[in-house]
Amino acid sequence: MDDNHKKENLEAWWKPALEIFVEVSTWIVVPIIFALAIGKILDKYFGTKPWIFIILVILGFVFSSMKIVEVVKRYTENVKNKELENKNKI
């Protein structure tokens, strides 16, 4: 293994972890904050405090959970594929 290849492997070890962290964090934060904001606005507009808020937060949580599971499944498939590629190279 030459020095350039070794250097590339050392520099890139953290990138997959950062990518999955950012993607999962986004799926946690964005739908929940969106549900909170829209729920409060709609409750104030319709005078249904706190029912629309609660329903949207529950839906945001369910949506976030489903997307996180999808991201983790895709990530584990990528890891399995990389392991198989590495086994085939040896």
pLDDT digits (tens, 9 = 90+) for 59-90: 999 999 999 999 999 999 998 998 898 888 77
> What residues have CB less than 8 Å from 40, skipping those under 6 apart?
53
pLDDT at 75: 93
- Residue pair 31/60 in contact (Cβ under 8 Å)? The answer is yes
pLDDT at 71: 95
- Residue pair 49/31 in contact (Cβ under 8 Å)? The answer is no
The pLDDT tens digits for 11-51 are: 677 888 899 999 999 999 999 999 999 999 999 999 999 99
Cis peptide before 31 (omega within 30 of 0): no
Q: Give the angle subtended at the CA of 20 by the CAs of 15 and 23, to the nearest 5°.
A: 125
Token output for 86: 């590495």
